[in-house]
């Protein structure tokens, strides 16, 4: 069996049908094998970064392993931003790169380059992969491929990279194996039960518990079990941005996204200032989530952290780890143990839930009355028009903040973000990957800066007539940085606005040039005019024109506690809620 055929068949047997990449001489054998396999489909982007982000969107939307490929040298290097995205957001993606023939290597140590388009991609990828290897002997592929897949899909999931010289790809595999068994080092039933017992004991003492839910709970089955556990005990749930779509926006236990700078006011206040117990499942509690003054977060609460990643648990949240319990365990296994526990009397906890509801309603009213948040209201209107989409991939910038603050996602509808990596250019290709993952219409929300990072993938959308609705929020600026420059650099908008090294095009006209129906309108017109345009099948691009000086609010000012954000809530409202 040809080695490249074996790789494709192996991945197909593992459930991977769609492959994302860009053709090249040194990956041609693999691409040929994808094309010839009747159970797989090859999808070509127009930049390897776009293909890598499509694989990330696929993995996020499907919660299963994805695959992207590239040729050697510049092609492989272009994958790396997507590799990093998968690494930081724990996405199981197998990256396959072509390489020059093994017999072209000279053996001269220190030689800068062995041959045309040769790069040591394994060395470059190792810091941002769980495993990276070059195959130098055909007989190694069986064990290495089985091993790489196991590593990508177990424990804290993440990307792996296999570098495939051309002569290796065209070699023969004599004994193909598709289900090699490896020791599972991550499942420890005793540790899971001990963690569950610790949580249940803490709940008996707590009067104001909160569940903090992160992307580390990476199974929909486990997520729903945890929600049912919370429902039995009437415990409010606060999520990370990546875990936002675990609950529908209107779920009675949904109390928003935590955020050190731009989180929901009510989530920040409940977690940081009102709770006496935080049960943290697979959430990193990084500075982006809890603010830069880490030791001041939730000082009045006991923190119990459940995480499979021991390195995450090395960081103390409370100073010297006081009143903080760290439990290294698989979140799904701990949740399984909790699900078996009997439901207690929830009388006191129900009172706490009423307090949380009052905080949420009052602080939502404060934000709803903030004139500068008109983009948030527009995003909420757009969410009503995108109810039939399976996933919405959101790019990076102010529009990302507006989206996780105000997009009204329904149960089962996923919002996809580039979280830890925060890569501009993610949205459009991720929406493409999400379509192949779900088989249903998807959408992306981009800024004018973000879309230009991978605008060439509009041709991919048109070529395959994908049902992807593309929303471009155009304020003709890099709004997030412009806001920073206003506050800290005396309004010198270097590299962020027209006339200072940045400019935006007419995206509607660009989309039309690609053959995609497009419309440009002012933000105020979206509610009335956008629904009719967005109806129907196939791709559409809606460009929404905003004022240059847009802002993302609420925002935590440097030095302030994260629950007291700008523009500040009226003092009488803030003081009353803090006394509840």
Q: Do 230 and 351 reside in the same domain of the chain?
A: yes
DSSP-based three-state secondary structure for 146: helix
- Per-residue pLDDT at 346 exceeds 70: no
Q: Do 415 and 479 reside in the same domain of the chain?
A: yes
Q: Do 155 and 207 reside in the same domain of the chain?
A: no
Instruction: Read off the pLDDT of each residue in 478-497 and give the average, rounded to a whole number.
Output: 92
Q: Do 533 and 410 reside in the same domain of the chain?
A: yes
In a domain, 567, yes or no: no
Domain-ending residue, one of 138, 169, 200: 169
Half-sphere exposure of 416 (CA within 13 A, CB side): 37
Instruction: Read off the pLDDT of each residue in 323-343 and give the average, rounded to a whole number.
Output: 93
Q: Do 323 and 382 reside in the same domain of the chain?
A: no
Q: Do 194 and 155 reside in the same domain of the chain?
A: no
Domain-ending residue, one of 367, 401, 429: 367
Please state, in angstroms and rounded to a whole number, the distance separating the CA atoms of residues 209 and 195.
16
- At 318, which CATH number? 3.40.50.1220
Contacts (Cβ under 8 Å, ≥6 apart) of 420 = 85, 88, 89
Q: Which tens digits make up the pLDDT trace of 285-300?
A: 999 999 989 999 999 9
Instruction: Read off the pLDDT of each residue in 53-74 and give the average, rounded to a whole number.
Output: 97
Q: Do 216 and 333 reside in the same domain of the chain?
A: yes
Domain count, the chain: 3
* pLDDT value of residue 482: 93
Q: Given the structure tokens 């051309």, which residue do they identify?
A: 166
Q: Which tens digits make up the pLDDT trace of 196-211?
A: 999 999 999 999 999 9
* pLDDT value of residue 148: 98
* Contact in structure between 35 and 4 (CB atoms under 8 Å): no
Q: How many helices (H) and strands (E) does the chain have?
A: 22, 18
Instruction: Read off the pLDDT of each residue in 163-189 and give the average, rounded to a whole number.
Output: 88
Please measure the distance between the N-terminal and C-terminal CA atoms of the chain and give it in whole angstroms: 70
Confidence of residue 238 (pLDDT cuts 50, 70, 90): very high
Q: Do 134 and 212 reside in the same domain of the chain?
A: no
Q: Is the dihedral of CA 286, 289, 292, 297 positive or negative?
A: negative
In a domain, 180, yes or no: no
- At 380, which CATH number? 3.40.50.970
Average pLDDT, the chain: 95
Q: Domain of residue 519: give its range.
A: 372-545
In a domain, 568, yes or no: no
Q: Do 436 and 492 reside in the same domain of the chain?
A: yes
In a domain, 184, yes or no: no
CA distances from 404 to 61, 199, 371 (A): 16, 29, 19
* Contact in structure between 66 and 96 (CB atoms under 8 Å): no
Q: Do 210 and 149 reside in the same domain of the chain?
A: no
In a domain, 576, yes or no: no
* pLDDT value of residue 44: 97
CA distances from 514 to 431, 463, 465, 517 (A): 18, 9, 11, 9
Q: Do 327 and 341 reside in the same domain of the chain?
A: yes
* pLDDT value of residue 112: 86
* Contact in structure between 466 and 429 (CB atoms under 8 Å): no
**Which residue spans within 295-413 are E strands per DSSP?**
302-307, 324-328, 391-394
Q: Do 8 and 122 reside in the same domain of the chain?
A: yes
């Amino acid at each position: 069996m040809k080695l490249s055929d074996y790789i494709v068949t192996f991945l197909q047997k593992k459930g991977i049908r769609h492959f994302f990449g860009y053709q090249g001489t040194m990956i041609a054998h693999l691409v040929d094998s994808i094309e010839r396999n009747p159970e797989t489909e090859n999808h070509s982007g127009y930049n390897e970064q776009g293909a890598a982000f499509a694989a990330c969107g696929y993995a996020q939307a499907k919660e299963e392993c994805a695959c992207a490929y590239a040729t050697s040298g510049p092609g492989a290097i272009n994958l790396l931003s997507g590799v990093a995205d998968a690494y930081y957001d724990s996405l199981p993606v197998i990256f396959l790169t072509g390489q020059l023939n093994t017999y072209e290597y000279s053996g001269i140590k220190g030689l800068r380059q062995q041959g045309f388009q040769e790069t040591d991609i394994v060395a470059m990828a190792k810091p941002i992969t769980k495993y990276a290897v070059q195959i130098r002997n055909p007989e190694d592929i069986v064990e290495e491929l089985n091993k790489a897949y196991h590593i990508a899909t177990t424990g804290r999931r993440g990307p792996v990279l296999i570098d495939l010289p051309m002569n290796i790809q065209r070699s023969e595999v004599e004994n193909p194996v598709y289900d090699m068994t490896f020791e599972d080092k991550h499942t420890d039933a005793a540790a899971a039960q001990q963690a569950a017992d610790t949580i249940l004991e803490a709940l008996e003492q707590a009067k104001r518990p909160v569940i903090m839910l992160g992307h580390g709970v990476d199974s929909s089955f486990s997520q729903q079990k945890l929600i049912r556990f919370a429902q039995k005990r009437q415990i409010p749930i606060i999520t990370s941005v990546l875990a936002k779509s675990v609950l529908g926006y209107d779920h009675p236990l949904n109390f928003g996204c935590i955020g050190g700078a731009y989180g929901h006011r009510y989530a920040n206040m409940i977690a940081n200032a009102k709770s006496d117990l935080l049960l943290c499942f697979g959430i990193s509690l990084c500075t982006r989530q809890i603010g830069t003054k880490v030791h001041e977060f939730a000082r009045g609460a006991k923190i119990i952290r459940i995480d499979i990643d021991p390195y995450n648990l090395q960081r103390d949240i409370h100073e010297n780890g006081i009143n903080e319990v760290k439990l290294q365990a698989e979140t799904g296994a701990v949740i399984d143990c909790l699900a078996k526990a009997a439901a207690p009397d929830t009388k006191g906890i129900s009172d706490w839930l009423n307090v949380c509801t009052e905080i949420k309603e009052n602080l939502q009213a404060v934000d709803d009355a903030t004139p500068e948040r008109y983009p948030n209201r527009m995003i909420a209107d757009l969410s009503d028009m995108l109810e039939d989409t399976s996933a919405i991939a959101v790019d990076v910038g102010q529009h990302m903040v507006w989206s996780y603050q105000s997009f009204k996602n329904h149960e089962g509808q996923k919002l996809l973000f580039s979280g830890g990596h925060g890569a501009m250019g993610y949205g459009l290709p991720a929406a493409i990957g999400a379509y192949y993952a779900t088989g249903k219409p998807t959408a992306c929300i981009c800024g004018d800066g973000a879309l230009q990072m991978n605008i060439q993938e509009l041709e991919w959308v048109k070529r395959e007539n994908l049902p992807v609705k593309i929303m471009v929020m155009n304020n003709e600026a890099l709004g997030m940085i412009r806001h920073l420059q206003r506050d800290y650099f005396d309004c010198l908008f270097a590299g962020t606005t027209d006339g200072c090294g940045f400019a935006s095009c007419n995206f509607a006209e660009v989309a039309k040039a690609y053959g995609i129906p497009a419309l440009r309108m002012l933000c105020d017109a979206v509610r009335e005019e956008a629904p009719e345009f967005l109806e129907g099948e196939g791709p559409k691009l809606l460009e929404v024109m905003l004022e240059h000086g847009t802002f993302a609010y609420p925002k935590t000012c440097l030095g302030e506690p994260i629950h007291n954000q700008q523009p500040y809530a009226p003092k009488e409202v803030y003081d009353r809620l803090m006394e509840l």
